[in-house]
Structure 1
Amino acid sequence: MSGTLLSHIELNVSDYAKSIRFYDHVLVPLGWRRLVCQKTHTVYSDGQMKIVLGPVEEKYQTPSYHRKRVGLNHLAFYAPSQSSVDDYVEKVLKPHQIPCLYETESKGDETYYSVFFEDPDRIKIEVVYSPGYCSPQHWTNQLASDFDPYLNQGEA
């Protein structure tokens, strides 16, 4: 295989209806479409991958999600330009009273410009403009490796 695409991400949510409304507001302006909405799951797609929302059974609702625990830290969605990140803040986040995280609404420079916010379960979401971020030549890929998981077993 020369490369793969991420197929889907499934998010278990504590307030199913509230989460569907939230993701309708934040995904559709990014080019996503809600494909199906059933009692057991809701599916969004951008034509390349899917995000699936599912209600969490009550017995699994505690402890609640926290991005610093084991598991997902955040989701990041590409934006086509810096101005589109700013437009997203003005046209999507503000009208739906979705607060931005951190001290500024959007931040960065010509290589990485983003805004962060949270979904109803506090899953952090980022909308980012970063041309070339996934290419091997991007600056973060030029950092020296300082950890060998095969030699340093049991260490973090």
Structure 2
Amino acid sequence: MTIPQGLHHIEINVQNLGKTKAFYGWLLPELGFSLFQEWEKGFSYKMESLYLVFVQTEDLYKDIPFHRKRSGLNHLAFWAKSRAQIEHLRVQLKKKNISFLYEDKFPFAGGENHYALFFEDPDRLKIEIVAPR
């Protein structure tokens, strides 16, 4: 029996579960994730042994919104299959009126050898999609 290694899962509390589900419901399958679980207050997507969980923030804790510049999670970075996939995602994001971060430096905002696309999810969590070399 092989023992899994690495990251098991990431759980993220969100302000509006419906908006988050609409956002990640098209993005994560594009990146190779499959819907794993769904329940009244959350959902998850899985790829191999890693899964991402999104849970509705309880009303008691919704008064302070997420900001990636505070202590804690800054961003999620996903592998793209290719530069062409990044270009495809960029077109899809534009159609969905999702604005980009560092658009003036696209596709090398992360450096001259780092082909990537940056944008934010509905809670303003930074998402990075990176192409392999």
The interval holding the TM-score normalised by the smaller chain is 0.7 to 0.9
Aligned to 1:122: 124
CA deviations over 1:94-139 (Å, ceiling 9, x no partner) = 22222111233831277311011111110000001144xxxxxxxx
What does residue range 131-142 of structure 1 map to in structure 2 within 5 Å?
131=133
Tell me the TM-score normalized by structure 2. 0.86
Structure 2 residue aligned with 1:112, among 111, 114, 118?
114
Among all aligned residue pairs of Structure 1 and Structure 2, give the percentage whose two residues are the same amino acid: 38
The structure with the greater share of residues assigned to strand is: 2
Larger radius of gyration: 1
Structure 1 counterpart SS, 2:95? coil
RMSD between aligned residues? 1.9
SS at match of 1:94: helix
Mapped partners of 2:102, 2:21: distance in 1: 25
Contact 1:110–1:130 (CA under 8 A) maintained in structure 2: no
What's the CA shift for 1:47?
2.0
TM-score, normalization: structure 1?
0.75
Three-state SS of the structure 2 residue aligned to 1:89 is helix
Q: Deviations over 1:13-41 (max 9, x none)?
A: 01011111111021111111112221132
Gaps of 5+ in 2: none
Higher RCO (Cα < 8 Å, 6 or more apart): 2
